Amino acid sequence: MMVSAPLDAAAPQHDIDGTMFLINRDWRVSRYYIPERMRQAEVKGQVRTLREEAAAALEEMYAACKEDANITLTSVSGYRSYGKQSTIYSNKLKRVKTKAKADRYVARPGASEHQLGLAMDVGQKGKTNLSESFAKYGGGKWIRENCWKYGFILRYDEGWEDVTGYGYEPWHIRYVGKEMAAAIHEKNIPLESFMLLLREEQLLDIIIGDK
């Protein structure tokens, strides 16, 4: 599907503690934002902290993948603070020299979904982490097909770069809740484009409601 919505056309919802809050290069959060109710997901891997509802969904999903496909998914990186993201960005910048290159794969502080506690970088036991080849592994394929059933979406799919502002990341999933994940999966569009659709529908409701 063609996606052509400009980043600045999608207005984020106001509820930063809600599961549909939009965050990207243009819509950033403050250095002081720390989600409430976070916990460690009971899965294998590192940095397993997520917001409570996302942690529960992740546990359910990883268990289902093990059951279905006998694949052990791991946690590579869940919640990251603003400060941690700052460090990651400046380290990347040192390596690649230009901001344009660093921006391709690393979010600036305040522009990462990981700060919301709703994003997870998924790995597969015994495989290389955070690589495009994740899409070809059994775990990556299973995630693409099934993550929506547990309330997650693939946030940075191939070809969505102009809309999301980020390169292809088959390992990065974002929790939005089961109902929204099913709707987004069916439309197969980036979150930014989906938010635009939602806003248009809400406006339509208001117009029809007035008559």
Residues interacting with Zn ion, by CB under 5 A?
121, 172
Q: Whose Cβ is closer to Zn ion: residue 11's or residue 134's?
A: 134
**Minimum distance, C-beta of residue 119 to Zn ion, in the bound complex (Å):** 5
Q: Whose Cβ is closer to Zn ion: residue 58's or residue 186's?
A: 58
Q: Whose Cβ is closer to Zn ion: residue 48's or residue 172's?
A: 172
The amino acid occupying position 192 is: E
In the block, tokens 């990347």 appear at: 92
Among residues 52, 60, 132, 169, the one annotated as catalytic is 169
Q: Which residue is nearest to Zn ion (CB)?
A: 172
Active site residue 113: no
What are the φ and ψ backbone dihedral angles of 154, each rounded to 5 degrees?
-75, 120
112-127 residues labelled b (16+ CB within 10 A) or e (exposed): bbbbbbbbbbbbbeeb
Structure tokens at 107: 């979010």
Q: Whose Cβ is closer to Zn ion: residue 80's or residue 185's?
A: 80
Q: List, in sequence order, every residue forming a beta bridge with 150; answer none if it has no partner.
A: none
**Minimum distance, C-beta of residue 114 to Zn ion, in the bound complex (Å):** 6
Structure tokens at 194: 């989906």
The amino acid occupying position 19 is: T
**Minimum distance, C-beta of residue 209 to Zn ion, in the bound complex (Å):** 39
52-61 residues labelled b (16+ CB within 10 A) or e (exposed): eebbbbbbeb
User: Among candidates 55, 42, 39, which has minimal Cα distance to 175?
Assistant: 55
Cite the active site residues: 169
